[in-house]
Structure 1
């Protein structure tokens, strides 16, 4: 996350709460931010003279829509809470209903797998090296497959004015690298899940990883804290990290990406840091975020109470403090309410 005096500058640049934002496939009630931090220590790159398509750089869109919007937790997995009075049913019918409900909940896609984060993993580079683990498609900005990338090869992407030279051929301003669903790609010496967008402007390249919230958190949580920590501390870290990411999902740094991959935002390292215990914490809290009056809180956090006091005027979670509370028997929701007073745990669910 953010450490040191540099972060104090961030805290001073506060933003107002966000109102209700509607997204074609999802709806969240009142998206509110606590002191949204917007300025980077070095200004975020702006892609000059970019066409309108930069906001959605390719016709390749996010995963298929659910048929109904998302709402905070009045519903669980699309199963509406039962009314106060229900028709009488036999024990056998009740058991059958419970089995059907369990099967429905088990079969639904996790909301963390539906939301895609757009993470900047390379900024203003003259060239980058790309590799893939299995046959992957290279697509141009119109979504047309123009080449198959094969494992074992290293492909050089270079900036050439407003165009990308990929493996020596001019390919236009935007390129997608799209591995199969179970594949990964490499950029430099790091390996990532999801898809890669390359964008070029003024002789520089930007690389953006389109990755599910689940796989984003699978990297962020163990990059921020040790997977060996108490499970309740891991759950608290997970919910805080998801809530922080969601604020940038709805209020991104710019039209090209939601947020960066370094400690100024949250540390995102690709697949190298993934661990079983943090996956368990992520699965156990799927869709949960820090909520204030139904909205999403930008849940700031840092390593210690001293850094939280220095960087955020005491308004944030101490990771070491959260660990101490977990070891004293605090569940993760109490840990979070201790550091974010007046908040509760909200949950995004997928309706059917």
Structure 2
């Protein structure tokens, strides 16, 4: 693939890495609960000083990466980040229910409505009485226009026009994106490469949200997301085995672009930066490449970094 630059989203740079403040990512219905605050850090080495020796070491490192793949950071504790995904098509005419008993709760925590499994939420009543509500169900999937979703559903009412936003754990979201973007029957190493690329792309948009209510949409304008219907044991395996791993470049998150084929990556992303061919990733995996070598071949100059929880 033609060598290109990396489209990276800069964040606050610390002495040993980069800190990403995720304040208010765990938004909950208001009602006396304190706002959750979680900080995620990427364990990545700082860029080397710009000297002749450092440049030589960097060339050697890149040659090593071409052969062995990007170095994998040490394991860390999972980071409980929440992502907000707009279900754009569903927002036009939403039909909401759940596979279990559900509640519709207002912004102030008041109960607006409750229902049994399969019972449809009365949105006409909601449109007349509340600016915002949360659909939630303990342990059951929430159903939006016939498709099941994990987490919670936030409905924002703007003069009768509704926005439907899925709030869910980042890793649960990645499990679905992998299955929405790639056939889950593909090589596990290709699926793992897709998981890292999808997570890095998602983090870039969490740092730079598309809207005051949501980070990114659910269609291919961002990256495809089909909820629980796209989640399989193999996409869960690919996500779990790369948990917390993202791509980093000089202390910033790489907005890891990708597309189905090399031709499409060149046409769609050639002017933006490095981009992964999904079919190319599958071909490399079938040749025996591990996911980190696949990523290194497409996102040249990047490093793998791992999100970890802690304080600054």
Give the alignment's TM-score, normalised by structure 2.
Answer: 0.77
**Per-residue deviation, residues 237-270 of structure 1 (Å, max 9, x unmatched):** 0000000000111110010111100111111101
SS, match of residue 170 in structure 1: helix
Q: Say how many residue pairs are matched.
A: 269
Distance 1:135 1:153 in 2: 9
CA contact (8 A) 2:7 2:255 kept: no
- The answer to whether the 8 Å contact 2:88/2:163 transfers is yes
* Contact 1:125 1:205 (8 Å CA) reproduced: yes
Match in the other structure for 1:219:
176
Indicate if the aligned counterparts of 2:179 and 2:230 stay in contact, CA closer than 8 A. yes
Per the alignment, do residues 15 and 203 of structure 1 end up closer, same or farther by CA in structure 2, a change over 3 Å counting?
farther
Q: Deviations over 1:301-341 (max 9, x none)?
A: 00000000101117200001111111112111111111111
CA contact (8 A) 1:218 1:279 kept: yes
Distance 1:150 1:157 in 2: 16
* 1:1-352 correspondence to structure 2 within 5 Å: 17-20=9-12, 29=18, 58-59=29-30, 69-73=39-43, 110-111=78-79, 114-122=80-88, 125=91, 127-158=93-124, 165-166=125-126, 170-180=128-138, 182-313=139-270, 315-351=274-310
Relative to 1, partners in 2 of residues 1:268 and 1:28: Cα closer, same or farther, differing over 3 Å? farther
Give the conservation status (yes or no) of the 8 Å contact 1:19–1:30.
Answer: yes
CA displacement 1:148-172 (0-9 Å, x = unmatched): 22213112314xxxxxx33xx8331
Distance in 2 between residues matched to 1:232 and 1:178, nearest whole Å: 35
Aligned mates of 1:145, 1:299 — CA distance in 2: 41
The Cα of 1:16 is off from its aligned counterpart by 7.7
- Report deviation, 1:233: 0.8
Q: Distance between the aligned counterparts of 2:82 and 2:188, measured in 1?
A: 26
CA contact (8 A) 1:244 1:299 kept: yes
CA contact (8 A) 1:317 1:340 kept: yes
Which runs of 5 or more residues in structure 1 are unaligned?
1-13, 32-52, 76-104, 159-164
Which residue in the other structure is 2:72 paired with? none
Structure 2: state its 5+ residue gaps: 1-5, 46-74
Compared with structure 1, are the counterparts of its residues 123 and 141 closer, same or farther at alpha carbon in structure 2 (3 Å cutoff)? farther
Distance in 1 between residues matched to 2:269 and 2:19, nearest whole Å: 24
CA RMSD in angstroms comes to 3.1
Gap change, CA 1:140 and 1:316, over 3 Å in 2: same
Structure 1 residue 124: Cα displacement: 8.6
| Distance in 1 (alpha carbons) for counterparts of 2:309 and 2:91 | 38
User: 1:183 offset after TM fit, Å?
Assistant: 1.4
Instruction: Tell me how far apart the structure 1 counterparts of residues 175 and 110 of structure 2 sit (CA, whole Å).
Output: 31
Q: Indicate if the aligned counterparts of 1:58 and 1:141 stay in contact, CA closer than 8 A.
A: yes
Deviation of the 1:231 alpha carbon: 1.2
SS for the counterpart of 1:214 is: helix
8 Å contact from structure 1 (residues 141, 176) kept in 2: yes
